[in-house]
């Protein structure tokens, strides 16, 4: 076997070894230079519904200063444009708002509730403006991530990639093809899975996360872990040694 043939075989083995590792760790690895047209119809339902035990930070302004004080009660006496007022959704799915009394909120989105309270307040005060934020929104990321624990979304449009980013990305040993999502839905726990190595993740109902979701990233099989560790630890050293040997063979063959 001559020098060129030997070098070619070595490079071929190195190429396939690297390709195997690459495909297992890349997100959306099947995405081409331009997305297929069907991905333009991806799921955009990221407005989560209000649930029991949610805390809603509600701020109400009107043209009447007296009504503003009444509608925004705080135990600490907080005032000003950045003050927020927490309402706990009770076991009946209701909150109690001054002037209008109990309001059924479970199953509504934040925008739905803003419109509902605004309409009800128009009977009692002039030009009410209602602003609502979720006060206890969190998710939990566990498993093969670099920083497991709770993550806090900055917006309701919070994706599985945002959560992974807050957890300092996945480990090399993470199973990207079958990430588990534990979700509370209509008072029940449901389990879903998402493959973030595929572009189909963009269409998954679990692409956009919901409050209190638990994301669990499983480890890949031990056999691949061992092989991947071998490649990362020893392939570089082996490649250098083989390159030196091949160079020596080439130089000696020229004499």
The domain limits of the chain are 3-24+222-253, 31-47+137-217, 55-134
Q: Which two tokens stand for residue 9?
A: 């075989």
Q: What is the pLDDT of residues 20-40, one digit of tens each?
A: 454 555 665 555 555 455 555
Q: What is the pLDDT of residues 154-188, one digit of tens each?
A: 788 899 999 999 999 999 999 999 999 999 877 78
How far apart CA 237 and CA 226 sit, in angstroms, is: 17
Measured in degrees and rounded to the nearest 5, phi and psi for residue 219 equal -80, 155
CA angle, residues 158, 188, 200, in degrees to nearest 5:
40
CATH top class, domain 31-47+137-217: alpha beta
State the pairing for strand pair 86-88/55-61: antiparallel
List the CATH code of the domain at 55-134: 3.30.1950.10
Residue 157 has a pLDDT of 86
Q: What is the pLDDT of residues 1-17, one digit of tens each?
A: 555 555 555 555 555 55
Q: Name the most confidently modeled range: 70-84, 211-225, 236-250.
A: 211-225
When pLDDT is cut at 50, 70 and 90, the band that residue 83 belongs to is very low
Residue 254 has a pLDDT of 63
């Amino acid at each position: 076997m001559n020098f060129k043939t030997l070098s070619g075989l070595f490079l071929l083995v190195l190429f396939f070894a690297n390709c195997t590792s690459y495909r297992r760790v890349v997100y959306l690895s099947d995405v081409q230079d331009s997305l297929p047209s069907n991905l333009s119809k991806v799921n955009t339902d990221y407005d989560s519904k209000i649930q029991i035990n949610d805390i809603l930070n509600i701020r109400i302004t009107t043209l009447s200063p007296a009504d503003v004080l009444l509608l925004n009660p705080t135990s600490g006496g907080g005032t000003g444009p950045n003050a927020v007022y927490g309402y706990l959704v009770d076991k009946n799915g209701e909150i109690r708002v001054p002037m209008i009394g109990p309001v059924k909120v479970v199953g509504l989105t934040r925008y739905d509730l803003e419109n509902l309270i605004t309409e009800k307040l128009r009977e009692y005060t002039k030009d009410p403006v209602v602003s609502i934020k979720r006060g206890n929104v969190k998710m939990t990321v566990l498993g093969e991530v670099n920083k497991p624990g709770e993550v806090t979304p900055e917006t309701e449009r919070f994706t599985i990639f945002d959560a992974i980013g807050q957890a300092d990305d996945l480990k090399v040993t993470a199973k990207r093809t079958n990430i588990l999502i534990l979700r509370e839905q209509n008072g029940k726990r449901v389990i879903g899975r998402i493959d973030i190595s595929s572009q189909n993740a963009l269409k998954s109902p679990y692409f956009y996360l919901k409050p209190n979701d638990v994301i669990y990233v499983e480890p890949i099989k031990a056999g691949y872990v061992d092989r991947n560790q071998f490649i990362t630890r020893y392939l570089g050293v082996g490649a250098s040694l083989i390159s030196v040997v091949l160079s020596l063979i080439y130089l000696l063959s020229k004499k």
